[in-house]
Structure 1
């Protein structure tokens, strides 16, 4: 068993298809299939269930994938560290950011970082907290800005910004004169929400389960201007960061009776090597974020 074979195995497992794995690896499909066949013979184990054109991991395959992920990531970390020691690192930072934060806090920070470190390249991926966490764990992202839910021991997190989520509604809405709004009152309204996988949506879903209510979701979108437009036209109310509401200009932000406050954190894998480029990026965010933890 060698690193190359483990990479073939990992790709087939992730793609759940020999054909798609071969395309991802830029190889001929028979060569990939033969490599996996030899690996199974070498281990004297069946790693995949084969059902016509569908494949899935056996229990033994699941256990090998767990080890393969660790071995391949450790190899990539070692290669990166050795390159940096010889000055060969290209200085690429792969970072995941949530939609709302990306629209308000981060543009200025990212532009400031690029101005301060023009030799470093930023590759930015947008997504919800769960998506970003999974991409970090799988080694597809180096760093992410995520909501601290306290449920990922595999990630190291440092508090960056504290935010409050407010009820967003139009000035002529019946609840517009309230100083605060109860969760149940919010759930009783027609709602415009982010799609599943985003923290704001998870909060609403958790509240709905808590109060045993089926929320009336009129629209689902991850586009903040579209959410603002729907609320403005009276198609429902939403829950957004105070910055997103203030940016609309003509919408109101009213806090929940029990304030919904959460921490946005910089996150990376606990067991990973943090390259010099990534460390510089982390240090820059911590120094320049509006309410960074070290301030």
Structure 2
């Protein structure tokens, strides 16, 4: 039977890939760490590390055990968390990854509702693009993602809660402001965009490619567009933002939508978690509140359209 301490030591060593640093991190001696790994390899009858120059490299068995070890550690953490919630009556801690645009139009209402219903709950929030957030989700570093629903290679559960539109925008005094524009017009100006690994950027580049136009001339590549509307307003560069951000009172007079119907991206916004993942009572509460906020937003949108 695998010794839990040996497995924990191995996971730390596999994360750091340096036995000296790993032993310091674990507050044990390097010989003690080496002995622990040797004991684990003997128990499993297979090598977990191999030499790669002056460093270490995981074997195929080592990579598999590392992934399973991370999942097991996450399960231990989840069990402890739930037991603490049940015993203390506290709201618990939920680790949320959220897109930049959702921090503007969803997060404030989610936090407001949670504070009124579960004042003892604590949210640990990571803001980022879908590629970064999903990496954190796979590593069990966050519990759920709130933001645009995109296709992932790994099996996930996705729950739509509202909708969003992403459009081309710029400062109100941009040369293209107030006039219909073609893709070729847009390709002549500089842009602020996320990395090519982000689904929104891939969609945008795809539209230019399909219409035989030069791709956007990216002058600034940034990790979160929602955090830089002020930069867009002052830089003279085009960007691709949620209409919800453009509607913020702070930016109504400074930013403007650039009119091009080909570059209107309709997207679903909701909650994503790993298929089969354990959801603590606190996490389930955040999901419930996010659904309620999304429903409220949709009702308000319909009322505005009817008026």
Q: TM range, normalised to the smaller chain? A: 0.7 to 0.9
CA contact (8 A) 1:74 1:272 kept: no
**Normalised TM-score (structure 2):** 0.80
Q: Match for 2:286 among 272, 278, 281?
A: 281
**Are 1:45 and 2:71 an aligned pair?**
no
1:151 paired residue number: 152
1:67 paired residue number: 68
Q: Secondary structure in 1 aligned to 2:247? A: helix
CA contact (8 A) 1:80 1:89 kept: no
Q: Match for 1:251 among 249, 255, 258?
A: 255
Greater CA deviation, 229-238 or 262-271?
229-238
CA distance in 1, matches of 2:39, 2:71: 22
Q: Secondary structure in 2 aligned to 1:146? A: strand
2:190 paired residue number: 190
Deviation at 1:5, TM superposition (A): 2.1
CA distance in 2, matches of 1:107, 1:230: 22
Greater CA deviation, 275-284 or 40-49?
40-49
Mark the runs of 5 or more structure 2 residues left unpaired by the alignment: 303-307
CA distance in 2, matches of 1:88, 1:48: 44
CA contact (8 A) 1:47 1:57 kept: yes
CA contact (8 A) 2:163 2:269 kept: yes
Greater CA deviation, 101-110 or 75-84?
75-84
Q: Secondary structure in 1 aligned to 2:273? A: strand
RMSD, aligned CA: 3.0
CA contact (8 A) 2:100 2:227 kept: no
1:57 paired residue number: 58
CA distance in 2, matches of 1:206, 1:26: 51
Deviations 1:89-126 (A, max 9, x none): 76111111112221333123213312321121221121
Deviations 1:193-252 (A, max 9, x none): 234554443434444655574532222334658743444345321111112223312221
Equivalent positions of 1:94-105 (< 5 A) are 94-105=95-106
Deviation at 1:26, TM superposition (A): 4.1
CA distance in 1, matches of 2:208, 2:67: 35
Deviation at 1:159, TM superposition (A): 0.7
Q: Secondary structure in 2 aligned to 1:151? A: coil
Distance 1:160 1:215, change over 3 A: same
2:305 paired residue number: none
Deviation at 1:177, TM superposition (A): 3.0
CA distance in 2, matches of 1:104, 1:256: 24
1:219 paired residue number: 220
Equivalent positions of 1:81-160 (< 5 A) are 81=82, 86=87, 91-160=92-161
Mark the runs of 5 or more structure 1 residues left unpaired by the alignment: none
CA contact (8 A) 1:224 1:244 kept: no
Q: Secondary structure in 2 aligned to 1:291? A: helix
CA contact (8 A) 1:147 1:264 kept: yes
**Are 1:177 and 2:178 an aligned pair?**
yes
Deviations 1:54-102 (A, max 9, x none): 2221122223234334444444444445555655776111111112221
Distance 1:154 1:82, change over 3 A: farther
